[in-house]
C-alpha cells in the first residue's frame, strides 16, 4: 500500500446492495408507473450527471458553488472553529473543499458516499490538501441508517453538510423523515448546512431539465438501458422519449419517460403492456420557497439561522442549528 491508498476493510465499508429487480417490478406494476431515481447513478449515469452539472441551462451546480465561494468566510464563522463536518453525498468534493478551506481549524471530516471510487479519490486528495484534518470516509447509502465512526479528536460540534439540493429528490414526507434522522448527527448544539433549489419561473426550471444538448434525456433513458443490461429486460430505447415538466401545484419538476407506441416490455418472465403516451415517472425534484423549507426542517428539530443566495434567488444555502437532544 502506498501513502495514496486507502485500506478498504479498515476505512470504508461497502453498502449492502438493494433489491433492484424487486424495485423495478414494483415500479412498473404501479399506477402511475415509476422507477426510483437512485438507480440513475450507475457508472454511465454518474458520468452523465457530471455533464448535466456543466450544462448552461442547469444553473444549480454553478450557482451553489458561486454562493459558497462568495460567502465562504461568513458561512465558516457561523459554523465555528474545531468542528466535526459530516458530508452526505459530497461526491468529488468540489463544494466541500471550498467550505473546509474557509473553516477555522476543522477537526474531523466524515464524508458519507455510496460511490466508492469518488470517496477514495476525494479522501486521497483531501488528505493531501488538509494534512491536519482527520478524515474518516464511510462508503454507505445515506438513505439507510448509517453508523458514523467516532473520532478521538474533540470537536466543538457536529455539522451535517448536505449539498446539491439532493433533498429535493425526496418526497416531502421522506425529506422530513430523513431530516429527523440526520438531526441525530447534529443534535445538542450542532448544525445543518444544506443546499436547496428554490421555486422560480417554470421556464427556467423546464429548460434546466430539458436541456438543448439532450444530456438529461440520455441520463433519463440510461435508466432503461441499465434495467436492460442488469436485469435482462427488453426496453426498446428508440420507443421512449424524455420529458420534464414543472408541476406547480406540487412544486416539483417531474421527469418522465413517455412511450412513443403501444408496446410490451418483458422482465423476469413478466410482461408489461404499455400504451402509447403512457409515462414512467423517474424522478421528482422538489423546489422550495426558503420559508417552506425552514418550516419543514423546523418539524425535524432544526432552527433556521440564515440563508445565503444568489442575486436572482435561484438557489439557497441554508444553515440551521439543532438544540434537540438525541
Identify the residue among 122, 169, 222, 321 touching ligand AVI (CB under 6 A): 169
Which of these segments, 9-17, 21-29, 163-171, 186-194, binds ligand AVI (CB under 6 A)?
163-171
Q: Which is nearer to ligand AVI, 164 or 191 (CB)?
A: 164
The only residue of 35, 52, 175, 179 in contact with ligand AVI, by rule CB under 6 A:
52
Compare residues 4 and 201 and give the one whose CB is closer to ligand AVI: 201
> Should residue 63 be labelled a site residue for ligand AVI when binding is judged by CB under 6 A?
no
Could you tell me the smallest distance in angstroms from the CB atom of residue 225 to ligand AVI? 16
CB atoms within 10 A of CB 27: 18
Closest approach of Cβ 109 to ligand AVI, in Å? 22
Q: Is 215 an interacting residue with respect to ligand AVI (CB under 6 A)?
A: no
All cell numbers assigned to 158: 457536529
Q: How far is the CB of 42 from ligand AVI (least distance, A)?
A: 14
Given 6, 24, 28, 60, the residue binding ligand AVI (CB under 6 A): 60
Only one of the segments 9-17, 158-166, 228-236, 270-278 lies at the binding site for ligand AVI (rule: CB under 6 A); that segment is 158-166
Q: Backbone phi, then psi, for 60, in 5-degree steps?
A: -60, -55
Cβ-in-10-Å burial (0-12, 13-18, 19+) of 210 comes to middle
45 near ligand AVI, rule: CB under 6 A: no
The distance of closest approach from Cβ of residue 310 to ligand AVI in the complex, given in angstroms and rounded to an integer, is 16
Tell whether residue 216 is a contact of ligand AVI (CB under 6 A).
yes
Residue 164 near ligand AVI by CB under 6 A: yes
> Is residue 259 a contact residue for ligand AVI (CB under 6 A)?
no
What phi and psi, each to the nearest 5 degrees, are found at residue 247? -95, 100
Q: How far is the CB of 216 from ligand AVI (least distance, A)?
A: 5
Position closest to ligand AVI via CB: 285
Per rule CB under 6 A, is residue 166 in the interface with ligand AVI?
yes
CB of 169 to ligand AVI, least distance (A): 5
Using the rule CB under 6 A, is 165 a contact of ligand AVI?
A: yes
Does position 283 interact with ligand AVI (CB under 6 A)? The reply is yes
Interface with ligand AVI by CB under 6 A: which range of 122-130, 162-170, 269-277, 309-317? 162-170
Number of residues assigned to the chain:
326
**Cα–Cα distance for residue pair 263/278, rounded to 1 Å:** 10
222 binds ligand AVI (CB under 6 A): no
Give me the residues that bind ligand AVI (CB under 6 A), please: 52, 60, 164-166, 168-169, 209, 216, 283, 285
Amino acid at each position: 500500500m502506498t501513502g495514496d491508498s486507502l485500506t478498504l476493510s479498515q476505512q470504508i465499508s461497502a453498502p449492502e446492495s438493494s433489491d433492484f429487480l424487486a424495485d423495478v417490478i414494483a415500479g412498473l406494476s404501479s399506477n402511475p408507473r415509476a422507477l426510483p431515481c437512485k438507480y440513475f447513478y450507475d457508472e454511465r449515469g454518474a458520468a452523465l450527471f457530471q455533464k448535466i452539472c456543466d450544462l448552461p441551462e442547469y444553473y444549480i451546480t454553478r450557482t451553489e458553488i458561486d454562493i459558497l465561494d462568495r460567502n465562504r468566510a461568513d458561512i465558516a464563522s457561523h459554523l465555528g472553529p474545531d468542528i466535526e463536518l459530516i458530508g452526505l453525498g459530497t461526491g468529488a468534493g468540489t463544494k466541500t473543499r471550498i467550505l473546509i478551506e474557509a473553516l477555522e481549524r476543522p477537526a474531523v471530516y466524515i464524508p458519507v458516499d455510496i460511490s466508492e471510487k469518488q470517496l477514495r479519490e476525494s479522501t486521497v486528495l483531501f488528505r493531501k490538501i488538509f494534512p491536519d484534518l482527520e478524515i474518516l470516509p464511510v462508503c454507505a447509502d445515506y438513505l439507510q441508517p448509517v453508523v458514523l465512526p467516532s473520532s478521538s479528536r474533540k470537536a466543538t460540534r457536529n455539522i451535517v453538510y448536505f449539498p446539491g439540493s439532493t433533498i429535493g429528490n425526496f418526497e416531502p414526507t421522506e425529506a422530513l423523515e430523513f431530516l429527523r434522522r440526520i438531526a441525530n448527527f447534529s443534535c445538542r448544539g450542532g448544525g445543518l448546512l444544506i443546499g436547496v433549489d428554490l421555486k422560480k419561473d417554470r421556464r427556467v426550471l423546464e429548460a434546466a431539465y430539458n436541456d438543448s444538448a439532450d444530456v438529461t434525456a440520455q441520463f433519463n433513458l440510461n435508466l432503461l438501458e441499465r434495467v436492460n443490461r442488469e436485469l435482462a429486460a427488453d426496453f426498446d430505447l428508440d420507443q421512449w422519449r424524455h420529458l420534464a415538466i414543472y408541476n406547480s401545484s406540487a412544486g416539483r419538476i417531474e421527469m418522465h419517460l413517455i412511450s412513443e407506441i403501444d408496446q410490451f416490455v418483458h422482465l423476469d418472465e413478466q410482461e408489461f403492456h404499455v400504451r402509447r403516451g403512457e409515462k414512467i415517472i423517474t424522478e421528482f425534484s422538489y423546489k422550495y420557497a426558503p420559508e417552506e423549507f425552514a418550516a419543514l426542517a423546523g418539524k425535524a428539530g432544526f432552527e433556521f439561522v440564515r440563508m445565503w443566495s444568489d442575486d436572482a434567488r435561484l438557489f439557497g444555502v441554508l444553515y440551521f442549528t439543532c438544540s434537540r437532544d438525541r
